[in-house]
Amino acid sequence: MLGSQMPAAPFLKRIADELLRLDPAEVHTLADIMHEKYLAGRMIFVIGNGGSGSNASHFCEDIGKGTLKLPADLNNDEKKRFRVLSLTDNSPYILAWGNDEGFDRVFIEQLKNLASPGDLLIAISGSGNSKNILSAVEWANKNGLTTYGCTGFTGGKLRGLAHKGLHVPLDDMGIVETLHLAAFHWVVDDLHRRISM
């Protein structure tokens, strides 16, 4: 927790410095994959735990609404929209699977109900080692989904397991989550440009 070791100004500068170290190609790849899935009418699923789960929900909302040209698209039933769902948001479903079968199953079981070959799974895990994330990505890989992993620290197992990914090589979960969200905001803007301008 770098913020516990430094005042606000150097902390914010460190975030800015780390942001500039991100690989723009990794961020652009996510936008490209999502645009491809949009054109094909495929589902996009987003998963994560804790702050990464919050980022999953935030990203899902931004993609679903932020890619529209408002207010023009509101009453345009012909306008194709992103088919995107955060699997972090159905609390009763998550609690049922977590309670009855174990927390490791909360994402994979939702995918079994909802996913089809050709869909996209975006998996967010700062450590890259969350068991429920890894089991979902393994299942997705075996069942014809494209997988994209967002990681921090060393990348953990997720970095090598997902087909593509965004890696933030930093040992601070808060900053990793902040940089993931900054990248997601650019992706939303880029997709808005592609489909709504």
- Please count the other Cβ atoms lying within 10 Å of the Cβ belonging to residue 165: 21
pLDDT reported for residue 118: 98
pLDDT reported for residue 126: 97
For tokens 């109900």, the residue is 113
Please compute, for residue 164, the number of CA atoms within 13 A of its CA located in the half-sphere on the CB side.
Answer: 17
Alpha-carbon dihedral sign for residues 100, 102, 143, 90:
positive
Element (H, E) at 104: none
Element (H, E) at 72: none
Amino acid at 52: S
Please tell me the distance from the alpha carbon of residue 137 to that of residue 108, in angstroms, as a whole number: 8
Lowest mean pLDDT among 2-11, 39-48, 87-96, 118-127: 2-11
pLDDT for residue 3 is more than 70: no
pLDDT digits (tens, 9 = 90+) for 58-113: 999 999 999 998 887 788 888 899 999 999 999 999 999 999 999 999 999 999 99
Q: What integer is the mean pLDDT of 137-149?
A: 98
Q: Domains in the chain, start-ordered, CATH in brackets?
A: 2-196 (3.40.50.10490)
Cα 21 from chain centroid (whole Å): 19
pLDDT reported for residue 2: 72
pLDDT for residue 1 is more than 80: no
Please tell me the distance from the alpha carbon of residue 151 to that of residue 106, in angstroms, as a whole number: 20
Q: What integer is the mean pLDDT of 155-160?
A: 98
Q: What percent of the chain has pLDDT over 90?
A: 90
Element (H, E) at 148: strand 146-151
Q: What integer is the mean pLDDT of 15-24?
A: 96
pLDDT for residue 154 is more than 80: yes
pLDDT reported for residue 197: 67
pLDDT reported for residue 69: 86
Please tell me the distance from the alpha carbon of residue 36 to that of residue 148, in angstroms, as a whole number: 13
